[in-house]
């Protein structure tokens, strides 16, 4: 039995299905991200776990107890909002102590716990300040401490970093992850930023228009996407339509250029239309020794992106991006020249058209 | 040559500066100020001349010494206080609930709150008297629940406070609603709920403290309306300050002028207080 179990949860607003048959089991101490474009139902799913929305059908079990219809203030669930949602009339310490005082904890316990939390988020110097006196990043840390002070069973974070600037976003996400790990708390993190999800999560749920597209570790999601949507949404990707040439040997062809894939194609038939996806960093110039998938390509464009050089090549009639790491001794190919380009069999992903 | 040039430059800069303050702006500003200040000046001047050829505060002393003044003034203050408490209890949860759960109802409720501007107080008071001068019965039975409210003192007080809540509605509702717009009540509510707070706790410990300034301005406006109100008070026959001032105006010359200036000062102090609480810090950032 998993710790948090969301089973067959569907949510409709009027006639619109916003979340469709959502199924997920989360283990204690796990950090799960919901990743998907805006409007795909991430927040709604999270709010059902928090109790702000009631599922149209389905069940939510937390630690064995059915919490599907429980009021938000009856569940022990911590919530972090994009807008911080600190109480403007209370100091940092009062904000953090709010939940404990609601529960009528003795004042000494509250004080001790608040001190503990304030030092957890490194804001000892600011304990008596009001929210408006703090930066966005500091406010979000206070909001984290406020949620954690209650020792919630699950921590829910709804795009907590979206309102912050890039530098703080990266450092705070590392901080959130470190705190989550050290406390062993179960967390659900909603984001539309694939890099954020990949860097912070134990598992990612890729969502699209209310439907779960794929669930897996960041490594699986990135390297072995199972749907076109997941492949395109996570990381950058070349994709092209292709045709199965030889199902037994996993051969496909893109505009007549043959590629060998590691994906088992025995279920498909010769002539089937499929979609082929190759990550830019998996393509490279062919070296002397012959390998599989060495093809001719025309150099179309070269873009310098700092740590990476992105080279656009044309294979058959299709343009592909190819990324190589930058180094000072790199010899950049001439635009218009013909080169040989290769990728491993594992890099050739075959998805349903 | 050089000094001539400098002279010209100085002249130019003065000219441009004068041009920067547009003549018509000043004209309308001064006209408006005169329209407002001249009667005030006349009132003050008149109130200081109770004794022939002497400028003094005799009228003020006389007015404040009248035991009837103190009685009616205190009574009206009590009515104002009750009105404010009643409207806060009625309006804060209403405005809050509409923001939270019924945003579609906003327009209807706003329209209702504007009704006191459309329906004159005289109609309101006749309506109240018409309905509440008969005994309050349990519907469809002959059991009398309460004697007619207009026949005993507490009943009349309840009626008039209810009437004043209606008269103050536009001001109180608007203040409270604006106050709630400046803090994100919905998210704050959800944050408090997820921390285990009940509705009562949320309203008392999260919502009310964050709309203090709005409450204060609504309360002061309500206060100003109630203390000077004449129509409801005289038709319901209560010993309030408004009717007293009205009577005084018919029988005396100098005291009413003194009292109106005094109440004017009071209003200014109140406005100053609002400014102090809302202007300086802003509503969301107020410290304890
Ligand atoms: N209270 C609501 N009433 C009607 N539609 C809603 C409500 N809340 C969300 N939606 C709709 O549900 C969809 C999913 O919203 P949401 O869960 O907020 O998406 P996300 O967080 O992934 O951006 C959106 O199309 C949104 O317009
Ligand atoms: Mg969202």
pLDDT (tens digit, 9 = 90+) per residue, B32-65?
999 989 988 988 888 888 777 778 888 888 888 8
Model pLDDT, residue B286: 36
Q: Name the strands in the sheet holding A257-260, side by side, starting at the edge strand that comes first in the sequence.
A: A257-260, A251-254, A238-246, A273-278, A349-352
Q: Which residues line ligand 1 (CB under 6 A)?
A: A 13, 18, 36, 38-44
According to DSSP, residue A247 is labeled: G
Task: Give the 3-state secondary structure of residue B288.
Answer: coil
Q: Which residue has the higher pLDDT, B222 or A292?
A: B222
Class of residue A114 by CB neighbours under 10 A (exposed 0-12, middle 13-18, buried 19+) = buried
Q: Which residue has the higher pLDDT, B176 or B5?
A: B176
| Whether residues A29 and A166 fall in one domain | yes
Atom 2 of ligand 1, nearest CA residue: A13
Model pLDDT, residue B232: 86
Atom 13 of ligand 1, nearest CA residue: A39
Question: What residue of B is the nearest CA neighbor of A100?
Answer: B195
Number of Cβ within a 10 Å radius of residue B112 = 13
State how far the Cα of B171 lies from the Cα of B221, in Å rounded to an integer.
7
| Whether residues A178 and A249 fall in one domain | no
| Whether residues A277 and A149 fall in one domain | no
Question: Strand runs (DSSP E) across chain A, as ranges?
Answer: 4-13, 16-26, 31-35, 57-62, 65-66, 77-80, 154-158, 186-191, 203-208, 211-216, 238-246, 251-254, 257-260, 273-278, 284-285, 294-304, 308-315, 318-325, 338-342, 349-352
Domain span including residue A9: 4-232
Distance of CA B137 to the CA centre of its chain: 35
pLDDT band at B281 (very low <50, low <70, confident <90, very high): very low
How far apart are the CA of B60 and the centre of ligand 1, in A?
Answer: 65
Q: Which residue's entry shows tokens 């990743």?
A: A35
Helix (H) or strand (E) holding B145: strand B144-146
> Superfamily for B57-278?
MetI-like (1.10.3720.10)
pTM, whole model, 2 decimals? Answer: 0.80
| Whether residues A83 and A164 fall in one domain | yes
Mean pLDDT, each 10-residue run in order, chain A (353 residues): 92 93 94 94 95 94 92 93 94 94 93 93 92 93 94 94 91 93 94 92 94 93 88 84 88 88 86 88 79 85 88 89 86 86 87 75
Last residue of a domain, one of A201, A232, A263: A232
**Predicted ipTM?**
0.84
Model pLDDT, residue B18: 63
How far apart are the CA of A46 and the centre of ligand 2, in A?
Answer: 9
Atom 24 of ligand 1, nearest CA residue: A39
Whole-angstrom Cα Rg for chain A: 25
Last residue of a domain, one of A232, A263, A290: A232
Which chain B residues contact residue A102 at CB under 8 A? 195-197, 201
pLDDT at B2 over 60: no
Percentage of chain B lying above the pLDDT 70 cut: 89
State how far the Cα of A56 lies from the Cα of A20, in Å rounded to an integer.
10
Contact B180, B96 (CB under 8 A): yes
Task: Say if the Cβ atoms of B190 and A130 lie within 8 Å.
Answer: no
| Whether residues A39 and A132 fall in one domain | yes
CATH number, domain at A81?
3.40.50.300
A102 in contact with B at a CB cutoff of 8 Å? Answer: yes
Contact A218, A32 (CB under 8 A): no
A37 in contact with B at a CB cutoff of 8 Å? Answer: no
Percentage of chain B lying above the pLDDT 90 cut: 28
pLDDT at B70 over 90: no
For chain B, the structural domain boundaries read 1-47, 57-278
Q: Per the structure, how many domains does chain A have?
A: 2
**Span B158-192, pLDDT tens digits:** 888 999 999 999 999 999 999 998 888 999 999 99
Model pLDDT, residue A185: 95
Model pLDDT, residue B3: 53
Interface of B with A (CB under 8 A): 183-184, 187-188, 190-198, 201, 205-206, 209-210, 212, 284-288
| Whether residues A96 and A172 fall in one domain | yes
**Span B86-135, pLDDT tens digits:** 999 999 999 999 999 888 888 899 899 888 888 888 888 888 888 887 77
Q: Measured between CA atoms, how close is A262 to chain B, in angstroms?
A: 48
Structure tokens at B216: 């204060």
* Among B225, B112, B219, residue whose Cα is nearest residue B160: B225
Which ligand 1 atom is the nearest neighbour of the CA of A158? 21
| Whether residues A171 and A277 fall in one domain | no
| Whether residues A258 and A154 fall in one domain | no
- Which of A48, A87, A89 should one mutate to test binding to chain B, selecting the residue with the greatest count of B CBs within 10 A? A89
| Whether residues A214 and A270 fall in one domain | no
A14 in contact with B at a CB cutoff of 8 Å? Answer: no
Last residue of a domain, one of A167, A198, A232: A232
CATH number, domain at A308?
2.40.50.140
Model pLDDT, residue B9: 57
């Amino acid at each position: 039995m998993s710790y948090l179990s969301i089973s067959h949860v569907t949510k409709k607003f009027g006639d619109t299905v916003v979340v469709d048959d959502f199924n997920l089991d989360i283990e204690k101490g796990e950090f799960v991200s919901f990743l998907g474009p805006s409007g795909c139902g991430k927040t709604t799913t999270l709010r059902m776990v928090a109790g702000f929305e009631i599922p149209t059908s389905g069940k939510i079990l937390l630690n064995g107890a059915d919490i599907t219809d429980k009021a938000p203030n009856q569940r022990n669930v911590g919530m972090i909002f994009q807008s911080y949602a600190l109480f403007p009339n209370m100091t940092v310490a009062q904000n953090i102590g709010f939940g404990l005082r609601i529960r009528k904890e003795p004042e000494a316990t509250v004080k001790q716990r608040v001190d503990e939390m304030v030092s957890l988020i490194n804001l000892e110097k600011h304990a008596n300040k009001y929210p408006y006196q703090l930066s966005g990043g500091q406010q979000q840390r206070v909001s984290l401490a406020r949620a954690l002070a209650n020792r919630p069973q699950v921590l829910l974070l709804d795009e907590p970093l979206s309102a912050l600037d890039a530098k703080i976003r990266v450092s705070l996400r590392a901080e959130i992850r470190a705190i989550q790990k050290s406390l062993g708390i179960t967390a659900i993190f909603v984001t539309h930023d694939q890099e954020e999800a990949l860097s912070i999560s134990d598992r990612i749920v890729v969502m699209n228009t209310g439907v779960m597209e794929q669930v897996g570790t960041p490594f699986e999601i990135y390297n072995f996407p199972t749907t076109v949507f997941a492949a395109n949404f996570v990381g950058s990707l070349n994709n092209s339509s292709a045709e199965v040439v030889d199902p037994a040997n996993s051969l496909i062809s893109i505009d007549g250029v043959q590629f060998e894939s590691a994906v088992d194609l025995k279920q498909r038939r010769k002539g089937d239309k499929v979609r082929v996806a190759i990550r830019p960093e998996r393509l490279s110039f062919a070296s002397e020794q012959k390998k599989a998938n060495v093809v001719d390509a025309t150099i179309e464009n070269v873009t310098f992106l700092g740590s990476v050089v992105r080279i656009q090549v044309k294979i058959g009639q299709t343009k592909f991006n190819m990324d190589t790491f930058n180094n000072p001794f790199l010899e950049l190919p001439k635009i218009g020249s013909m080169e040989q380009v290769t990728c491993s069999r594992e890099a050739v992903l075959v998805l349903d058209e | 040559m050089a000094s001539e040039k400098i002279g010209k430059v100085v002249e130019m800069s003065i000219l441009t500066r004068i041009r920067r303050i547009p003549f018509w702006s000043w004209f309308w500003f001064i006209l408006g100020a005169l329209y407002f200040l001249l009667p005030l000046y006349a009132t003050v001047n008149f109130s200081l001349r109770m004794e022939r050829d002497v400028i003094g505060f005799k009228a003020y002393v006389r007015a404040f010494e009248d035991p009837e003044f103190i009685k009616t003034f205190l009574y009206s203050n009590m009515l104002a206080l009750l009105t404010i408490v009643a409207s806060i209890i009625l309006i804060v949860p209403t405005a809050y609930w509409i923001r939270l759960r019924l945003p579609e109802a906003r327009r209807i409720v706003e329209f209702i709150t504007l009704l006191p501007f459309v329906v004159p107080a005289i109609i309101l008071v006749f309506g109240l008297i018409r309905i509440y001068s008969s005994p309050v019965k349990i519907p469809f039975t002959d059991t009398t629940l309460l004697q007619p409210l207009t026949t005993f003192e507490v009943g009349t007080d309840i009626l008039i406070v209810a009437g004043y809540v209606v008269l103050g509605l536009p001001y109180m509702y608007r203040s409270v609603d604006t106050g709630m717009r400046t803090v994100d009540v919905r998210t704050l509510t959800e944050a408090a709920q997820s921390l285990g707070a009940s509705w009562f706790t949320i309203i008392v410990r999260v919502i009310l403290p964050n709309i203090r300034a709005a409450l204060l301005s609504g309360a002061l406006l309500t206060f100003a309306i109630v203390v000077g109100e004449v129509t409801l008070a005289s038709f319901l026959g209560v010993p309030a300050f408004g009717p007293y001032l009205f009577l005084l105006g018919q029988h005396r010359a100098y005291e009413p002028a003194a009292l109106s200036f005094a109440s004017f000062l009071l209003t200014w102090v109140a406005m100053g207080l609002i400014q102090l609480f809302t202007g300086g810090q802003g509503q969301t950032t107020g410290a304890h």
